Structure 1
Amino acid sequence: MDIFKLKQNGTTIKTELNAALTTFLAMLYIVPVNALILSDAGMPKDALLVATALITIIATIFNGLWANTPVALSTGMGLNAYFTYSMVIGMQIPWQTALGAIFISSAVFTILSFTNFRLWIIKNIPLDLRCAISAGIGAFICFIGLSQMGLIVSSPATKVAIGNVADPKVLIGLIGVILMIIFWALKVRGGFVLAIAITSITAWVFGIYETPQSIVSMPVSIAPIFGELDIFSALQISLLPAVLTLFVTHLFDSIGTLTGVGNRANLFSSSEGEKKLARNLESDAIASMAGATIGTSTVTAFAESASGVEAGGRTGLTAVFIGIFFIFTLFFLPLFGAIPANAIYPVLVMVGILMFSELGKINYKDPAICVSTFLTVILMPLTYSITIGLSVGFISYFIVKLALRRWEDLNLGVITLAVISLFAFAASSMPDLFQSIIGG
């Protein structure tokens, strides 16, 4: 295990294993959810279940060995929705061509990953904004957890409202959140996993969720989607807006996630950390090319990796263990699928609480930081987009610094971030206008 430098990073095999299990359970939902979203594009759902698990295994283990970070990789939420609902359904692009577009954008991403461009971008993000990004992702993750559990529901009058706590499934989620908080406050080792186990067993015993009907199943073939990407058709000029949108969204998602997750444990603060960060960026770029080949949407670093970091994960051994756990989903999907969703989502709520505490490190006396922090944090959950929160935060930071004439803070990195942010904001909030401008 010396390749992971466990002692140097202040961790042990047991801690890394516990962290991996925590992250695995927190992100297990991606297998059925991604398959469901991409199946709306006309792709076979059974093959997608296996393909999603497979790319998660390959990408996460590769990242653990290559970058030595506890960061899991899988098909990105939001990016998979853009693939299905904007490209395939909205633009009426065949899913094979859409996969080709992902491969092209990922290839460009990979080339840039082996330069200093992405690392230079991240290093030019002010420290206070890094904390804001972490807190914003925390709020976003918490909102996802609460809404998926049914503790927060949509309302025509107030947009959102409290859910029906009398619903047994919602109650199970609430119990899970309470257990998470108690175990964390008492500093119980493996508290996240213990809370999931208790709520799962409770839900099964009282018949709130169905117990596993079977344990083992053989994975189906991914032949219907493997290697079906159409790169040649994706090279059309008319698809340039889609390729650029994929590229920019992937850039901001990976930067936002890695910055937020890494900031919680100072994973990338040292010179050795910068090397890890660069390799982590290379991993998700290469994994996206592999994902398009296998038959899935864009692969990126997963924000749920923060749960493993909070559980003590510090090295790539955590990522390798996560990948190994996902191997079981190929054969034990009935068992893992029986774990109640509302026993898993409380993890996201607790992680959100922990990440939100980063706001205490921010210097609110700086007007630019104060405004950009608020907009970054509030817009991520309200718009359901890390990209929107990041872009508006950077744009507002630039505008306030410009108004105050603090030229020394407006270096080339900040200006570049502002320009990319404008591009990302336009691509996310005004897709039709953006595509008409780029497409000529």
Structure 2
Amino acid sequence: MDFFKLKNHGTSVKQELSAGLTTFLAMMYIVPVNAIIMSKTGMPMDALITATALITIIATVLNGIWANTPVAMSVGMGLNAYFTFGLVIGMGIPWQTALGVVFLSGMLFVILSFTDFRIWIIKSIPVDLRRAVSAGVGTFIAFIGLQQMGIVVNNDDVLVGLGNLKDINVLLGIFGLITVLIFWIVNIKGAFILAVLLTSVIAWICSISPYPTEIFSIPASITPILLQLDVKSVFFDSAGVFTLSLLPVVLVFLVTDLFDSVGTLTGVGTRAGIFSEDNKDGLNNLKKTLEADAAVTVVGSVIGVSTTTAFVESASGVEQGGRTGLTAIFCGLFFTLTLFMLPLFKAIPANAIYPVLIMVGILMFSEVRDINFKDPAIMVATFFIVALMPLTYSITNGLAFGFLSYLLVRVFRREWNEINIGIIVLAIISFIVFLVN
């Protein structure tokens, strides 16, 4: 075990095992949640359950070996919702083409992993705007959760309205939301998956949803979604005409994944002290973790899932004492259990899942607490990012309005020292978004 330098990190195999199990329980929910979300595109849920479990195992174990950090990875919440409801359902893009978008964004991430672009983009964008992006994505996925639960519905007179709160399925979703909130507030380990299971049990007992006749089975085949990505359609329309209409979407996946990963790794790394400047291996650990993140996004698109990223639930394992990649490897190995839990996952009702989406949105939205609203440019940009992502059903539009408004306010206030090349480039890309829409 000297490979992981356990003694140097003040840990042991037993401690890393305990930390890996803790992380697994905290993020186990991603398998059924991601499968239900992405199945809305028409992709078979059985294959998605297997694919989600597989990419989680591959990504987490790879990061443990390559970067030697206690960081678990899986299909990112937020971008999987954007993949489903923004691209496939919202823009009418076939899921195969959407996988092509994920593949290209992952390839760009891999290429940029060998350059200083990540550092440049991070330094170019004010930290408050990065927080605003996280908060905006949070409002977007929470809105999707509320909509899918039936709490927010279409209203031809005022666009949206309150759903039928007497509907048994809506009530089940509300019960699930209250449950996950309570479990999170009292800091119960594995709060998300426990809330999902409790809500499911209530649904089975009350005959709202059919209960599972078995718990375990042989893993479903991923053949229906394996190697189904369509990269060509990202660049050419149905008539074979070259188009750049999906380029902004590729960039959104790239930039959002970068922000999500850096934000998550910063939080987890701070607790474990693995990415600090005082740690001589800190920056190298961060670099390698981001490299693993980029590589598995490419692999994930080939397997048939959306963008893969570092999971903030890794912090639970860090709190348990996890300090090395052995924690990640144990966590990944525990996820092999989910490969055989298809009957159980399929029996979980959708409204036991969507409350978790809302809770994740709430946690992401909490980033607004640290934003400096006394700065006019930050205030205006944050408003457009947070408001327009859910209102236009598009992360792309929210980012575009945010970056453009930020630059305009800076220009009109003649705050030239607050403007850099990175902001200008992002503003130009944002302008292109409106030209190609």
Same fold (TM over 0.5): yes
Name the residue aligned to 1:253.
256
Matched, 1:389 2:395: no
For residues 205-237 of structure 1, give each alpha carbon's deviation from its aligned partner in whole angstroms, at most 9, with x where no partner exists. 222221112233323444566456687998879
Q: Note closer, same or farther for the CA distance 1:86–1:336 as it changes in structure 2 (3 Å cut).
A: closer
- CA positional deviation for 1:120: 1.6
Alignment of 1:232-381 (within 5 A): 238-239=241-242, 241=244, 244-245=247-248, 247-262=250-265, 270-271=276-277, 274-294=283-303, 296=304, 298-301=306-309, 305-306=311-312, 309=315, 320=329, 323-324=332-333, 326-381=335-390
1:123 and 1:32 map into 2 onto residues whose CA distance is 36
Partners of 1:354 and 1:234 in 2: CA distance? 32
Q: Is the Cα contact below 8 Å between 1:368 and 1:401 reproduced in 2? A: yes
Check conservation: 1:150, 1:164, Cα contact below 8 A. yes
Q: Is the 8 A contact 2:410 2:418 kept in 1?
A: yes
Aligned length, in residue pairs = 416
Cα 1:263–1:231 change in 2 (3 A) is: closer
Return 5+ residue gaps in structure 1 as ranges: 435-440
| Alignment of 1:150 onto 2:150 | yes
Q: Deviations over 1:236-260 (max 9, x none)?
A: 7945626734531321231242355
- Write the deviation string for residues 258-296 of structure 1: whole angstroms up to 9, x where unpaired: 3554565565973466545433432343223323444x2
1:408 to partner: Cα distance: 0.8
Instruction: Tell me, yes or no, if the aligned pair for 1:59 and 1:287 is still in contact at 8 Å.
Output: yes
Sort the Cα spacing of 1:23 and 1:148 in 2 relative to 1 into closer, same or farther, 3 A.
farther
SS in structure 2 at match of 1:154: strand
Identity %: 43
User: Aligned partners of 2:30 and 2:228: how far apart in 1?
Assistant: 30
Q: Which structure 2 residue ranges, 5 or more long, are not aligned?
A: none
Look up the match of 1:438: none
- Corresponding residue SS for 2:29: helix
Q: Please tell me whether the aligned partners of residues 64 and 70 of structure 1 are also in contact (alpha carbons under 8 angstroms).
A: yes
Aligned pairs for 1:219-230 (under 5 A) are 219-223=219-223, 226-227=226-227
User: Are the structure 2 counterparts of residues 102 and 374 from structure 1 closer, same or farther at C-alpha, using a change threshold of 3 Å?
Assistant: closer
Cα distance in 1 for partners of 2:157, 2:72 equals: 40
Shift of 1:126: 1.0
Change (3 A) 1:254 1:45: same
In the TM superposition, what is the alpha-carbon distance from 1:119 to its structure 2 partner? 2.9
RMSD of the alignment, in Å?
A: 3.9
Q: Which amino acid aligns with 1:136?
A: G
Specify the alignment match of 1:198 in structure 2: 198
**CA distance in structure 2 between the partners assigned to 1:401 and 1:151 by the alignment:** 39
- Seen in structure 2, the aligned counterparts of structure 1 residues 13 and 54 have a Cα distance that, compared at 3 Å, is closer
Judging changes above 3 Å, is the alpha-carbon distance between structure 1 residues 172 and 121 closer, same or farther for their aligned structure 2 residues? same
Shift of 1:28: 2.5
1:53–1:326 CA contact under 8 A, matched in 2 = yes
1:437 is aligned to none
- Given the superposition, is the C-alpha separation of residues 19 and 45 from structure 1 closer, same or farther in structure 2, using an over 3 Å criterion? closer
Q: Is the 8 A contact 2:248 2:396 kept in 1?
A: no
C-alpha separation in 1, matches of 2:198 and 2:90 = 40
Q: How far apart, in 2, do the equivalents of 1:383 and 1:100 lie?
A: 23
Post-superposition Cα deviations, 1:176-228, rounded to whole Å, max 9, x if no partner, equal 22233333333444444443333222222222221112233323444566456
1:213 aligned residue: 213
Aligned to 2:171: 171
Q: Secondary structure at the residue paired with 2:41?
A: helix
Residue 27 of structure 2 contacts residue 190 of structure 2 at CA under 8 Å; is this kept in 1?
no
Per the TM alignment, residue 122 of structure 1 is displaced from its structure 2 partner at its CA by: 1.9
1:110 aligns with 2:114: no
8 Å contact from structure 1 (residues 26, 345) kept in 2: no
Superposition TM-score, scaled by structure 2 size: 0.78
After TM superposition, the structure 1 stretch with the greater mean CA deviation from structure 2, 162-171 or 393-402, is 162-171
1:380-419 matched pairs, under 5 angstroms: 380-419=389-428
Q: SS of the residue aligned with 2:177?
A: helix
Compute the displacement of 1:121 (Å): 0.5
Residues 47 and 265 (structure 1 numbering): CA distance in 2 closer, same or farther, change over 3 Å?
closer
In terms of mean alpha carbon deviation, does 244-253 or 68-77 score higher?
68-77
User: Contact 1:134 / 1:259 at 8 angstroms: preserved in 2?
Assistant: no
Q: Deviation of residue 46 (structure 1)?
A: 5.7
Out of 52-61 and 409-418, give the one that drifted further.
Answer: 52-61
Determine the structure 1 residue equivalent to 2:139: 139
The 1-side partners of 2:222 and 2:389 are apart by 34
Aligned AA (2:417): E
SS of 1:343's equivalent in the other structure is: helix
Show the counterpart of 1:73.
74
The alpha carbon displacement at 1:406 in A equals 0.8
Q: CA deviation at 1:372?
A: 0.8
Which 10-residue stretch deviates more, 234-243 or 249-258? 234-243
Q: d(CA) in 2 for partners of 1:32 and 1:328? A: 19
Query: Could you tell me whether the CA contact under 8 Å between 2:105 and 2:251 is conserved in 1?
Result: no
Paired amino acid for 2:379: C
Q: Tell me what 1:20 maps to.
A: 24
Q: Distance in 1 between matches of 2:146 and 2:267?
A: 22
Q: Conserved in 2, the CA contact under 8 Å of 1:372 and 1:393?
A: yes
| TM-aligned CA distance change 1:135 to 1:242, over 3 Å | closer
Distance in 1 (alpha carbons) for counterparts of 2:404 and 2:269:
26
Q: Secondary structure at the match of 1:209?
A: coil
The DSSP-based 3-state class of the residue aligned with 1:37 is coil
